[in-house]
Chain A
């Protein structure tokens, strides 16, 4: 399966909002309730930020929110903070125990 498509970069000033898109197909994003988002700092392991489209694990600030429409999922970071500067990857369950990641987006604050 092909990687999900994300914009290479996104930016915003401190306190502003930024939204990252993640476009797939009806075989993954469009046909799945299971879209996740991961944050990764350079040289570190990814961290789960959003799962099942719009749910936040314990400890993730409510500034992070997710949504989905058709074949495109989105991650919004509201009230940007300097520590939000990182790479973000979406992921979708693609059926039959397969997963696919997005191409990744670098967020600059």
Chain B
């Protein structure tokens, strides 16, 4: 069974750093792209970027380029989304999703990030 399990809720202050995770199982993690998707409170889905775990090839949406870092550790089947300096506007739910061909067929349960002073 394909599963993507994400890390738990995070409560941070503006200016702090953060790294959230997405662990895959039940399939060949290294050879499937993993995407990250943001959903701000009460808003729609926004595609942030994608990584190929086998070689860490990464592509960012222009809106998120330079704002976050996507990485992966294929030895533990885990992808990451990282911020160096959080802002209140980073408050959102973040989903990881497996890309298969040109669709996102399996999704993680989401990680809620709250940034507040």
Contacting residue for A46 out of B50, B62, B102, B107, CB 8 A: B107
Max chain B C-beta neighbours (<10 A), residue from A33, A44, A57, A91: A91
Q: From residue 74 to 117 of chain B, which have CB atoms closer than 8 A to chain A?
A: 95, 97, 101-105, 107-110
Do A47 and B103 touch across chains, with their CB atoms under 8 A apart?
Answer: no
Q: How far is the CA of A100 from the CA of B64 in the complex (A)?
A: 13
Q: From residue 69 to 103 of chain A, which have CB atoms closer than 8 A to chain B?
A: 89, 91, 93, 96-103
How many A residues touch the partner, as a band? Answer: 20 to 34
A48 at the interface (CB under 8 A from B): yes
Query: Which residue of chain A has the shortest Cβ distance to B4 in the bound complex?
Result: A45
Contacting residue for A102 out of B44, B50, B95, B97, CB 8 A: B44
Please indicate the chain A residues that have their CB under 8 angstroms from the CB of B47 in the complex. 91, 98-101
B45 at the interface (CB under 8 A from A): yes
How many B residues touch the partner, as a band? Answer: 20 to 34
Contacting residue for A97 out of B44, B50, B62, B105, CB 8 A: B50
Contacting residue for B103 out of A34, A40, A45, A101, CB 8 A: A34
Contacting residue for B59 out of A40, A93, A97, A100, CB 8 A: A97
Contacting residue for A89 out of B45, B105, B110, CB 8 A: B45
Please indicate the chain B residues that have their CB under 8 angstroms from the CB of A47 in the complex. 107
Query: Which residue of chain A has the shortest Cβ distance to B99 in the bound complex?
Result: A99
B46 at the interface (CB under 8 A from A): yes
List B residues at the A interface (Cβ < 8 Å): 33, 35, 37, 44-47, 50, 59, 61-62, 95, 97, 101-105, 107-110
List A residues at the B interface (Cβ < 8 Å): 1, 3, 32-34, 36, 38, 40, 44-48, 51-52, 57, 89, 91, 93, 96-104
